Structure 1
Amino acid sequence: MSLVNGLPAHVLLVHFVVVLVPLTSLALVVAALWPRAARRMGVVLPALALVTLASVPLTTSAGEWLEEHVPENSLVQRHAELGDGLLPWALGLFVLAAAVWWTVRRTPAPETGNRTAAVVRIAAAVLSVVVAAGAVVDVYRIGDSGAKAAWKGNYSKAATRSGDGD
Protein backbone atom coordinates (compact mmCIF):
# COMPACT_ATOMS: atom_id res chain seq x y z
CA MET A 1 0.00 0.00 0.00
CA SER A 2 1.55 3.29 -1.06
CA LEU A 3 -1.14 5.94 -1.60
CA VAL A 4 -4.62 6.40 -0.17
CA ASN A 5 -6.75 9.03 -1.86
CA GLY A 6 -3.61 10.74 -3.13
CA LEU A 7 -1.84 10.82 0.26
CA PRO A 8 1.01 8.58 1.39
CA ALA A 9 -0.58 5.65 3.24
CA HIS A 10 1.97 5.93 6.04
CA VAL A 11 0.63 9.35 7.02
CA LEU A 12 -2.82 7.81 7.53
CA LEU A 13 -1.86 4.40 8.95
CA VAL A 14 0.41 5.88 11.60
CA HIS A 15 -2.69 7.19 13.38
CA PHE A 16 -3.89 3.63 13.96
CA VAL A 17 -0.58 2.69 15.58
CA VAL A 18 -0.50 5.85 17.70
CA VAL A 19 -3.96 5.00 19.09
CA LEU A 20 -3.82 1.19 19.18
CA VAL A 21 -0.47 0.68 20.92
CA PRO A 22 -1.32 2.81 24.00
CA LEU A 23 -4.89 1.47 24.07
CA THR A 24 -3.69 -2.14 23.92
CA SER A 25 -1.02 -1.39 26.52
CA LEU A 26 -3.57 0.07 28.90
CA ALA A 27 -6.00 -2.82 28.39
CA LEU A 28 -3.22 -5.35 28.94
CA VAL A 29 -2.01 -3.75 32.18
CA VAL A 30 -5.57 -3.48 33.52
CA ALA A 31 -6.27 -7.11 32.63
CA ALA A 32 -3.00 -8.34 34.10
CA LEU A 33 -3.48 -6.46 37.37
CA TRP A 34 -7.22 -7.01 37.69
CA PRO A 35 -8.36 -10.54 36.73
CA ARG A 36 -12.03 -9.57 36.97
CA ALA A 37 -11.48 -6.95 34.26
CA ALA A 38 -9.65 -9.53 32.17
CA ARG A 39 -12.63 -11.88 32.43
CA ARG A 40 -14.96 -9.07 31.36
CA MET A 41 -12.73 -8.18 28.39
CA GLY A 42 -12.64 -11.79 27.29
CA VAL A 43 -11.37 -12.43 23.79
CA VAL A 44 -11.46 -8.68 23.01
CA LEU A 45 -8.05 -8.26 24.69
CA PRO A 46 -6.08 -10.65 22.44
CA ALA A 47 -8.14 -9.54 19.41
CA LEU A 48 -7.20 -5.91 20.06
CA ALA A 49 -3.57 -6.91 20.49
CA LEU A 50 -3.71 -8.86 17.20
CA VAL A 51 -5.08 -5.84 15.32
CA THR A 52 -2.36 -3.71 16.91
CA LEU A 53 0.29 -6.23 15.90
CA ALA A 54 -1.01 -6.31 12.30
CA SER A 55 -1.07 -2.51 12.06
CA VAL A 56 2.65 -2.18 12.80
CA PRO A 57 4.12 -3.94 9.72
CA LEU A 58 1.48 -2.32 7.48
CA THR A 59 2.50 1.10 8.73
CA THR A 60 6.21 0.27 8.56
CA SER A 61 5.86 -1.00 5.00
CA ALA A 62 4.03 2.15 3.97
CA GLY A 63 6.74 4.16 5.73
CA GLU A 64 9.45 2.40 3.76
CA TRP A 65 7.66 3.34 0.55
CA LEU A 66 7.42 6.94 1.72
CA GLU A 67 11.10 6.98 2.74
CA GLU A 68 11.99 6.20 -0.88
CA HIS A 69 9.85 9.13 -2.08
CA VAL A 70 11.18 11.96 0.11
CA PRO A 71 14.58 13.62 0.08
CA GLU A 72 17.14 11.68 2.08
CA ASN A 73 18.14 13.25 5.39
CA SER A 74 19.28 12.17 8.83
CA LEU A 75 15.89 12.90 10.49
CA VAL A 76 14.02 10.60 8.09
CA GLN A 77 16.70 7.94 8.53
CA ARG A 78 16.45 8.15 12.34
CA HIS A 79 12.65 7.89 12.17
CA ALA A 80 12.88 4.82 9.94
CA GLU A 81 15.39 3.16 12.26
CA LEU A 82 13.19 3.77 15.31
CA GLY A 83 10.10 2.59 13.43
CA ASP A 84 11.75 -0.73 12.68
CA GLY A 85 12.00 -1.39 16.43
CA LEU A 86 8.28 -1.31 17.22
CA LEU A 87 7.35 -4.76 15.92
CA PRO A 88 8.94 -6.70 18.83
CA TRP A 89 7.03 -4.53 21.32
CA ALA A 90 3.75 -5.12 19.46
CA LEU A 91 4.50 -8.84 19.38
CA GLY A 92 5.15 -8.77 23.13
CA LEU A 93 1.81 -7.03 23.70
CA PHE A 94 0.05 -9.72 21.68
CA VAL A 95 1.79 -12.66 23.36
CA LEU A 96 1.10 -11.28 26.83
CA ALA A 97 -2.50 -10.39 25.98
CA ALA A 98 -3.08 -13.93 24.72
CA ALA A 99 -1.39 -15.38 27.83
CA VAL A 100 -3.42 -13.24 30.22
CA TRP A 101 -6.63 -14.11 28.38
CA TRP A 102 -5.77 -17.83 28.34
CA THR A 103 -4.79 -17.88 32.00
CA VAL A 104 -7.94 -16.09 33.14
CA ARG A 105 -10.07 -18.30 30.91
CA ARG A 106 -8.58 -21.46 32.44
CA THR A 107 -8.92 -20.26 36.03
CA PRO A 108 -12.36 -18.67 36.40
CA ALA A 109 -11.83 -17.43 39.96
CA PRO A 110 -8.54 -16.64 41.67
CA GLU A 111 -7.68 -19.11 44.38
CA THR A 112 -6.40 -17.48 47.53
CA GLY A 113 -4.27 -20.42 48.65
CA ASN A 114 -2.67 -21.29 45.30
CA ARG A 115 0.87 -19.96 45.53
CA THR A 116 1.80 -21.01 41.97
CA ALA A 117 -1.18 -19.15 40.51
CA ALA A 118 -0.22 -16.06 42.51
CA VAL A 119 3.38 -16.19 41.26
CA VAL A 120 2.23 -16.61 37.66
CA ARG A 121 -0.23 -13.73 38.03
CA ILE A 122 2.46 -11.46 39.52
CA ALA A 123 4.96 -12.40 36.81
CA ALA A 124 2.38 -11.72 34.09
CA ALA A 125 1.53 -8.37 35.68
CA VAL A 126 5.18 -7.31 35.91
CA LEU A 127 5.93 -8.39 32.33
CA SER A 128 2.77 -6.66 31.11
CA VAL A 129 3.70 -3.38 32.77
CA VAL A 130 7.25 -3.53 31.40
CA VAL A 131 6.22 -4.40 27.83
CA ALA A 132 3.33 -1.91 27.83
CA ALA A 133 5.58 0.88 29.08
CA GLY A 134 8.27 -0.01 26.54
CA ALA A 135 5.76 -0.05 23.69
CA VAL A 136 4.25 3.32 24.62
CA VAL A 137 7.66 4.96 25.07
CA ASP A 138 8.79 3.54 21.73
CA VAL A 139 5.68 4.87 19.96
CA TYR A 140 6.33 8.29 21.50
CA ARG A 141 9.97 8.28 20.37
CA ILE A 142 9.02 7.16 16.85
CA GLY A 143 6.29 9.78 16.59
CA ASP A 144 8.55 12.53 17.88
CA SER A 145 11.23 11.64 15.34
CA GLY A 146 8.62 11.47 12.56
CA ALA A 147 7.23 14.88 13.46
CA LYS A 148 10.74 16.33 13.44
CA ALA A 149 11.45 14.70 10.08
CA ALA A 150 8.25 16.07 8.58
CA TRP A 151 8.17 19.53 10.10
CA LYS A 152 11.66 20.70 11.11
CA GLY A 153 12.40 23.73 8.98
CA ASN A 154 9.12 23.38 7.05
CA TYR A 155 7.10 26.12 8.69
CA SER A 156 7.43 29.80 9.49
CA LYS A 157 7.79 30.87 13.10
CA ALA A 158 6.01 34.11 12.18
CA ALA A 159 2.44 34.03 10.88
CA THR A 160 2.34 34.18 7.09
CA ARG A 161 -1.26 35.44 6.93
CA SER A 162 -3.60 37.24 9.27
CA GLY A 163 -5.78 35.21 11.64
CA ASP A 164 -8.99 37.05 10.78
CA GLY A 165 -9.98 34.63 8.00
CA ASP A 166 -9.05 36.99 5.11
Structure 2
Amino acid sequence: MSAGGNIGERLMATGARHYGDIRATAQKWLEEVEIPANRIDDLPTTFSGGMQQRLQIARNLVTHPKLVFMDEPTGGLDVSVQARLLDLLRGLVMELNLAVVIVTHDLGVARLLADRLLVMKQGKVVESGLTDRVLDDPHHPYTQLLVSSVLQN
Protein backbone atom coordinates (compact mmCIF):
# COMPACT_ATOMS: atom_id res chain seq x y z
CA MET A 1 0.00 0.00 0.00
CA SER A 2 1.29 3.48 -0.86
CA ALA A 3 2.19 6.19 1.66
CA GLY A 4 -1.04 8.00 0.82
CA GLY A 5 -2.97 4.77 1.15
CA ASN A 6 -1.54 4.24 4.63
CA ILE A 7 -2.87 7.62 5.73
CA GLY A 8 -6.10 7.32 3.74
CA GLU A 9 -6.89 3.97 5.34
CA ARG A 10 -7.20 5.69 8.72
CA LEU A 11 -9.50 8.35 7.26
CA MET A 12 -11.70 5.71 5.66
CA ALA A 13 -11.94 3.91 9.01
CA THR A 14 -13.51 7.07 10.44
CA GLY A 15 -16.04 7.38 7.61
CA ALA A 16 -14.29 9.43 4.91
CA ARG A 17 -15.30 8.27 1.42
CA HIS A 18 -14.45 11.02 -1.09
CA TYR A 19 -11.22 10.03 -2.86
CA GLY A 20 -10.16 13.60 -3.65
CA ASP A 21 -10.61 14.75 -0.06
CA ILE A 22 -8.77 11.72 1.30
CA ARG A 23 -5.86 12.24 -1.09
CA ALA A 24 -5.66 15.97 -0.32
CA THR A 25 -5.64 15.27 3.41
CA ALA A 26 -2.96 12.61 2.96
CA GLN A 27 -0.80 15.08 1.01
CA LYS A 28 -1.26 17.71 3.72
CA TRP A 29 -0.18 15.26 6.42
CA LEU A 30 2.85 14.08 4.45
CA GLU A 31 3.97 17.70 4.31
CA GLU A 32 3.21 18.15 8.04
CA VAL A 33 5.72 15.38 8.82
CA GLU A 34 8.29 16.68 6.33
CA ILE A 35 7.75 14.09 3.60
CA PRO A 36 7.48 15.61 0.11
CA ALA A 37 3.89 15.41 -1.14
CA ASN A 38 5.12 13.96 -4.45
CA ARG A 39 6.01 10.76 -2.52
CA ILE A 40 2.29 10.07 -1.89
CA ASP A 41 2.18 7.15 -4.33
CA ASP A 42 5.50 5.63 -3.23
CA LEU A 43 5.62 2.47 -1.17
CA PRO A 44 6.80 2.98 2.41
CA THR A 45 9.50 0.34 1.80
CA THR A 46 11.24 2.88 -0.46
CA PHE A 47 11.47 5.36 2.44
CA SER A 48 14.36 5.73 4.86
CA GLY A 49 13.83 4.61 8.46
CA GLY A 50 13.20 8.18 9.57
CA MET A 51 10.68 8.76 6.79
CA GLN A 52 8.88 5.52 7.67
CA GLN A 53 8.63 6.68 11.27
CA ARG A 54 7.28 10.09 10.16
CA LEU A 55 4.73 8.35 7.91
CA GLN A 56 3.47 6.40 10.92
CA ILE A 57 3.17 9.64 12.86
CA ALA A 58 1.08 11.15 10.05
CA ARG A 59 -1.03 8.00 9.89
CA ASN A 60 -1.76 8.25 13.60
CA LEU A 61 -2.37 11.99 13.78
CA VAL A 62 -4.62 12.30 10.70
CA THR A 63 -7.69 11.43 12.81
CA HIS A 64 -6.88 14.20 15.33
CA PRO A 65 -6.57 12.11 18.50
CA LYS A 66 -6.32 13.86 21.86
CA LEU A 67 -3.93 11.22 23.24
CA VAL A 68 -1.09 9.47 21.42
CA PHE A 69 0.89 6.47 22.69
CA MET A 70 4.48 6.18 21.43
CA ASP A 71 6.65 3.16 22.14
CA GLU A 72 10.35 3.91 21.58
CA PRO A 73 9.64 6.57 18.91
CA THR A 74 13.32 6.95 18.02
CA GLY A 75 14.37 3.32 18.36
CA GLY A 76 16.64 2.07 15.59
CA LEU A 77 17.32 5.52 14.14
CA ASP A 78 20.74 7.12 13.92
CA VAL A 79 21.44 10.18 16.08
CA SER A 80 20.91 12.86 13.40
CA VAL A 81 17.61 11.30 12.31
CA GLN A 82 16.55 11.00 15.96
CA ALA A 83 17.19 14.71 16.53
CA ARG A 84 15.13 15.69 13.49
CA LEU A 85 12.27 13.37 14.52
CA LEU A 86 12.29 14.68 18.10
CA ASP A 87 12.11 18.28 16.85
CA LEU A 88 9.17 17.33 14.63
CA LEU A 89 7.39 15.53 17.48
CA ARG A 90 7.90 18.41 19.88
CA GLY A 91 6.48 20.84 17.34
CA LEU A 92 3.46 18.67 16.55
CA VAL A 93 2.69 18.10 20.23
CA MET A 94 2.62 21.85 20.84
CA GLU A 95 0.84 22.75 17.59
CA LEU A 96 -1.88 20.12 17.98
CA ASN A 97 -2.10 20.35 21.79
CA LEU A 98 -1.58 16.60 22.12
CA ALA A 99 -1.25 14.53 25.24
CA VAL A 100 1.45 11.92 24.66
CA VAL A 101 2.43 8.82 26.60
CA ILE A 102 5.99 7.82 25.67
CA VAL A 103 7.61 4.52 26.56
CA THR A 104 11.37 4.82 26.22
CA HIS A 105 14.64 3.64 27.67
CA ASP A 106 16.33 6.77 26.33
CA LEU A 107 16.48 9.37 29.11
CA GLY A 108 17.44 12.04 26.57
CA VAL A 109 14.17 11.46 24.71
CA ALA A 110 12.29 11.54 28.02
CA ARG A 111 13.93 14.81 29.03
CA LEU A 112 13.17 16.42 25.68
CA LEU A 113 9.55 15.32 25.28
CA ALA A 114 8.12 14.60 28.73
CA ASP A 115 6.74 17.05 31.28
CA ARG A 116 6.23 14.28 33.83
CA LEU A 117 8.10 11.02 34.21
CA LEU A 118 7.34 7.60 35.66
CA VAL A 119 10.31 5.32 36.29
CA MET A 120 9.35 1.66 36.31
CA LYS A 121 11.23 -1.41 37.46
CA GLN A 122 9.79 -4.89 36.93
CA GLY A 123 6.37 -3.45 36.07
CA LYS A 124 6.09 -1.23 39.15
CA VAL A 125 6.42 2.55 39.37
CA VAL A 126 9.39 3.32 41.63
CA GLU A 127 9.54 7.08 41.11
CA SER A 128 7.45 9.78 39.49
CA GLY A 129 7.39 13.54 39.19
CA LEU A 130 8.34 16.42 36.97
CA THR A 131 10.92 15.23 34.46
CA ASP A 132 13.66 17.68 35.45
CA ARG A 133 13.23 16.87 39.16
CA VAL A 134 13.32 13.10 38.62
CA LEU A 135 16.37 13.22 36.34
CA ASP A 136 18.31 15.96 38.16
CA ASP A 137 17.58 14.77 41.71
CA PRO A 138 16.56 11.10 41.59
CA HIS A 139 15.42 9.66 44.93
CA HIS A 140 14.95 5.96 44.23
CA PRO A 141 18.13 3.84 43.93
CA TYR A 142 16.98 2.41 40.57
CA THR A 143 16.43 5.90 39.13
CA GLN A 144 19.83 6.93 40.49
CA LEU A 145 21.37 3.92 38.73
CA LEU A 146 19.67 4.78 35.42
CA VAL A 147 20.77 8.41 35.54
CA SER A 148 24.34 7.56 36.56
CA SER A 149 24.64 4.95 33.80
CA VAL A 150 23.76 7.61 31.21
CA LEU A 151 26.30 10.02 32.68
CA GLN A 152 29.03 7.36 32.50
CA ASN A 153 28.47 6.61 28.80
Q: TM-score range by the shorter chain?
A: under 0.3
TM (normalized to structure 2)? 0.24
Find the structure with the greater CA-based Rg.
1
TM (normalized to structure 1)? 0.23
Q: Which has the higher helix share?
A: 1
Q: Which has the higher strand share?
A: 2
